[in-house]
């Protein structure tokens, strides 16, 4: 990696927070309109009858949403629904007691839901929003509108699978009668139809079954690149309407999008770092901005290891995680850019990284709950500490190592951290501190705007050396990382302004000018504290794991 290239293209940002994307509302609207237009096919026909419900989950988009288009094709009317599940939004905690969803991600998701409603309205529909558990809400709605099917995106991790199972059971209890009081006719129960839609390569196009997925990423990548191809984005009809003509009043109308206050949360907006806007329109705007307007795609491979500013990497991850952005759409745009501008290592590398994302998603289907367990998929037995004071110094950015502290502060303030930063803080926590990696993973789960169970726990198990690939066991040396990726201390002094007065080469090595280092560097297994809690493989108070 070329550190100079990294810092020049990502020149910050000394003061105020930077919006991502930075396009005006008009520009974003124009990009979204043009993109929708390009993906609309007037020749699409619907051949179904009755009503179909679409249950939106981590697929908060209209463009390239196969569940939505399939529901439209199989019905005369579609009812889109989003459930604000209290198990995700309201005060639920993880095993280690952190909130399930911190305010910044909740805010981002609320914006995504609002934008989805807006885009559905433009397409002749609306979004029904309810607070409660999907397994309680969806059967009631399906009954009120006499739906024959509930369509939803298929998920892979156990919390999501658990809810899918309950929804299916709930729908089995629904009795739908048709034809009024005289001559009532019973219809079959509504069914739950789950559609694959989260990855760039479709699960059905893999050259192996998920159970036979290679355990080494390179083998997976080479196999899909040579034997599979990425499907085109699904086309949209000019209108997705109408919504159902009856039943909505009975269930209280369309409902309102929650506010953060109604979720019991409040955000203090950071005056620094990046401020991501939630929603499909912002996502499409960011793709346009990064690829076409700023022309950053052609240098991605040289800049992607940066840490400061909006443009060293794509910043697509928050929208990908919420499903406001389709990975197939990104692939399509990369190909278009390669045709119209340039095809080089950088343009390919974005797809290379998206294959990592796919890989973790498929791995989570293969390995199930073991990605959440201390020993990981390989059931590695090793000793970990749960020392609270050490952990809190890491979490709060008080370790005495500027590179760690700056990254952890960025995470708390913005909900984002670069990939370079994530690898460094993960290595420090598990190798230098010897702390139970699940504490770090759960803190990331709480804070990250782009939190995705498969990518988060997949990367943490790799970092902790308990991942499926036994060869991945890497130590990140902080001095080396600092010299390579932040040689002038620009990043650390941005987040730790007290270091700005030091000479550039000292900012990452401030000695007594900064707080004391909480542990010496280099992982030393012999110095770990014994802790009764360790090796706990089960998480009994979780419904997921
Ligand atoms: C400990 C740890 C935890 C992580 N947790 C998450 C998480 O919860 N959600 C998440 O989306 N990513 C996670 N990542 C992966 C990666 O750090 C982020 O996807 C990336 O930093 C997002 O920034 P970007 O969109 O600018 O990425 P870019 O560099 O622009 O990459 C483009 C896209 O490729 C995908 N990608 C890139 N690297 C990875 C990777 N290592 N694993 C999976 N997908 C990747 C992402 O979807 C990303 O948006 C984690 C990495 C580590 C080391």
Among the listed residues 462, 232, 195, 206, the one whose alpha carbon sits nearest the alpha carbon of residue 323: 195
Atom of ligand 1 nearest to the CA of 422: 53
**What pTM does this model have?**
0.93
Q: What is the 3-state secondary structure (H, E, C) of 288-304?
A: HHHHHHCCCHHHHHHHC
CB 240 within 8 A of CB 123: yes
- Residue 55, token pair as written in the block: 């249950």
**How many other CB atoms are found less than 10 A from the CB of residue 388?**
13
Ligand 1: residue whose CA is nearest its atom 24: 315
Which residue from 157, 217, 353 has its CB within 8 A of the most atoms of ligand 1, so it is best to mutate? 353
Ligand 1: residue whose CA is nearest its atom 47: 317
Which residue from 217, 453, 459 has its CB within 8 A of the most atoms of ligand 1, so it is best to mutate? 459
CA torsion angle 397 403 404 408 (round to 10): 60
Distance 111 CA to ligand 1 centre (A): 21
The answer on whether 360 is annotated among ligand-binding residues is yes
* DSSP at 276: E
Measured between alpha carbons, how far is 44 from 63 in angstroms, rounded to an integer? 15
Ligand 1: residue whose CA is nearest its atom 45: 357
Which residue from 312, 317, 481 has its CB within 8 A of the most atoms of ligand 1, so it is best to mutate? 317
Measured between alpha carbons, how far is 40 from 239 in angstroms, rounded to an integer? 9
Among the listed residues 258, 257, 285, 235, the one whose alpha carbon sits nearest the alpha carbon of residue 73: 235
| β partners of residue 236 | 40
CB 136 within 8 A of CB 83: no
Ligand 1: residue whose CA is nearest its atom 37: 353
Atom of ligand 1 nearest to the CA of 304: 29
- Indicate the pairing of strand 176-178 with strand 185-187: antiparallel
The answer on whether 316 is annotated among ligand-binding residues is yes
Q: Is the ipTM of this complex over 0.90?
A: yes
Measured between alpha carbons, how far is 327 from 330 in angstroms, rounded to an integer? 5
Q: What is the 3-state secondary structure (H, E, C) of 465-524?
A: CCCCCCCCCCCCCHHHHHHHHCCCCHHHHHHCHHHCCCCHHHCCCCHHHCCCCCCCCCCC
Protein residues whose CB sits closer than 6 Å to any atom of ligand 1: 304, 313-317, 320-321, 350, 353-354, 356-357, 360, 418-419, 422-423, 426, 444, 448, 450-452, 455-456, 459-460, 463
Measured between alpha carbons, how far is 78 from 95 in angstroms, rounded to an integer? 38
Ligand 1: residue whose CA is nearest its atom 49: 317
CB 463 within 8 A of CB 412: no
Distance 318 CA to ligand 1 centre (A): 9
The answer on whether 450 is annotated among ligand-binding residues is yes
Ligand 1: residue whose CA is nearest its atom 6: 456
- Residue 543, token pair as written in the block: 């419904």
The three-class DSSP label of residue 258 is: coil
Among the listed residues 43, 240, 30, the one whose alpha carbon sits nearest the alpha carbon of residue 123: 240
CB 372 within 8 A of CB 438: yes
CA torsion angle 101 104 110 116 (round to 10): -110
CB 272 within 8 A of CB 494: yes
Distance 419 CA to ligand 1 centre (A): 6
CB 275 within 8 A of CB 269: yes
Measured between alpha carbons, how far is 278 from 293 in angstroms, rounded to an integer? 20
Ranges of the chain whose pLDDT falls below 50: 1-13, 180-181, 523-545
């Amino acid at each position: 990696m070329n550190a100079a290239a990294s810092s020049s293209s990502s020149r910050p940002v000394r003061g105020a927070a930077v919006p991502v994307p930075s396009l005006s509302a008009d520009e974003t609207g124009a990009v979204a309109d043009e993109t929708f237009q390009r993906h609309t096919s007037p020749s699409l026909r619907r051949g179904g009858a009755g009503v179909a419900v679409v249950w939106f989950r981590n697929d908060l988009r209209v463009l390239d949403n196969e569940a939505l288009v399939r529901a439209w094709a199989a019905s005369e009317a579609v009812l889109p629904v989003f459930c604000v599940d209290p198990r995700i939004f309201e005060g639920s905690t993880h095993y280690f007691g952190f909130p399930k969803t911190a305010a910044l991600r909740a805010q981002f998701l609320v914006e995504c839901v609002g934008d989805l409603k807006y885009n559905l309205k433009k397409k002749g529909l609306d979004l029904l929003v309810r607070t409660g558990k999907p397994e309680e809400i969806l059967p009631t709605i399906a009954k009120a509108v006499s739906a024959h099917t509930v369509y939803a995106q298929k998920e892979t991790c156990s919390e999501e699978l658990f809810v899918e199972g309950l929804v299916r059971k709930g729908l089995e209890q629904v009795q739908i009668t048709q034809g009024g009081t005289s001559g009532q006719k019973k219809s079959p129960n509504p069914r739950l139809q789950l559609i694959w839609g989260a990855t760039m390569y479709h699960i059905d196009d893999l050259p192996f079954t998920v159970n036979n997925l290679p355990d080494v990423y390179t083998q997976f990548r080479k196999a899909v690149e040579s034997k599979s191809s990425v499907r085109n984005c699904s086309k949209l009809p000019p209108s997705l309407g109408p919504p159902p003509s009856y039943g909505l009043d009975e269930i209280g109308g369309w409902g309102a999008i929650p506010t953060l206050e109604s979720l019991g949360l409040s955000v203090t907006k950071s005056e620094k770092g990046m401020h991501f806007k939630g929603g499909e329109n912002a996502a499409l705007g960011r793709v346009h901005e990064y690829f076409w307007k700023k022309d950053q795609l052609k240098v991605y491979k040289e800049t992607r290891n940066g840490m400061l500013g909006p443009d060293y990497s794509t910043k697509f991850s928050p929208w990908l995680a919420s499903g406001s952005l389709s990975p197939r759409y990104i692939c399509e745009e990369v190909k278009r850019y390669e045709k119209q501008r340039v095809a080089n290592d950088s343009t390919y590398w974005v797809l290379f990284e998206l294959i990592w994302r796919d890989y973790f998603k498929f791995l989570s289907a293969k390995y199930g709950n073991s990605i959440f367990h201390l020993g990981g998929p390989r059931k590695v037995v090793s000793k970990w500490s749960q020392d609270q004071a050490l952990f809190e110094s890491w979490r709060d950015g008080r370790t005495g190592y500027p590179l760690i502290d700056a990254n952890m502060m960025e995470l708390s303030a913005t909900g984002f951290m670069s990939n370079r930063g994530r690898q460094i803080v993960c290595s420090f926590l598990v190798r230098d501190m010897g702390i139970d990696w699940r504490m770090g993973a759960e803190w990331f789960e709480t804070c990250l705007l782009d939190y995705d169970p498969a990518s988060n726990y997949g990367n943490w198990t790799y970092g902790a050396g308990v991942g499926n690939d036994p060869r991945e066991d890497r130590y990140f040396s902080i001095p080396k990382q600092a010299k390579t990726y932040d040689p002038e201390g620009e990043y650390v002094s941005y987040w730790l302004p007290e270091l700005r007065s030091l000479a550039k080469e000292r900012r990452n090595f401030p000695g007594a000018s900064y707080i004391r280092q909480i542990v010496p560097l280099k992982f030393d297994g012999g110095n770990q504290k014994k802790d009764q809690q360790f090796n706990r493989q089960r998480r009994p108070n979780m419904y997921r794991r």
